Amino acid sequence: MEDILKILEENARISFEDLAKLTGKKEPELRKMVNKLEKKGVIVKYKAVINKELLPGERSVLALIEVKVSPQKDVGFDAIAERIYKFPEVKSCYLLSGTYDLLLIVEGKSIHTVADFVAEKLAPLESVKGTVTHFMLKKYKEDGVILRKKKEIKRLTITY
């Protein structure tokens, strides 16, 4: 099981045929296992890691936003977190320990759109006590993947 997840994490587009070759399990069995993992929510979805910096034309802007909130009775941080993460601009939302509570990753077309989102949607919320916005300048590595193209490793083609 762990093996299958490791392989899929590395390459979600691998065929069942290759997966069978790599794990030594039969294809139908693997289909069943993956199906189960999907149903259980262990595998949430399959997506591509895209380096948008290489795309021509319009670029989007990413910001990490630290949010200080006051928790609410009975529901703690969950209710306010839900209110915030439902905005489609919010790509990720984490509750953290430390000097602030929620960390958001927000995507917008420009610095202005992100600023507008903070000023108009986020900051006015009653439980939000303060925000700090960091705009992202460059991505080097994401989810374990180094985004720059790897240089080919030089090896002789044949040796003893």
Partner 1 sequence: MDRFISHKVKNLAPSGIRQFFDLVLKTKDVVSLGVGEPDFPAPWRIREKAIYSLEQGYTSYTSNKGLLRLRLEIAHFLKKHYRLIYDPEQEILVTTGVSEGLDLAIRAVLNPQERVILVYPCYVAYPAVVELSAGRVVPLYTSFEEGFKINPEKLKELIKKYRPKAIILNYPANPTGVSYSKEELKKLWRVLSKEDLLVISDEIYDLITYDFKHTPFSAFKGAKGRTIYLGGFSKNYAMTGFRVGFACGRKELIEQMSKIHSFVMLCAPITSQLSAVEALNSQKDVEYMVKEYRRRRDFIVSELNSLGFKTLLPQGTFYCFSSVKNTGLSSLEFASLLLKKVKVAVVPGEAFGLPYKDFIRISFASPFQDLKEAILRIRKFKEQYLKN
Is residue 147 involved in binding partner 1 (CB under 8 A)? no
Is 153 near partner 1 (CB under 8 A)? yes
Torsion sign, CA atoms 106, 108, 111, 117: negative
Which of 118-126's residues contact partners 24+ apart within 8 Å by CB, and which partners? 118/65, 121/87, 121/89, 122/65, 122/67, 122/84, 125/80, 125/83, 125/84
Q: Does 13 bind partner 1 (CB under 8 A)?
A: no
Q: Which stretch binds partner 1 (CB under 8 A): 44-52, 97-105, 122-130, 149-157?
A: 149-157
Q: How far is the CB of 154 from partner 1 (least distance, A)?
A: 10
Q: Which of 24, 41, 57, 144 binds partner 1 (CB under 8 A)?
A: 24
Under the rule (CB under 8 A), what is the footprint of partner 1?
A: 18, 21-24, 153, 155-160
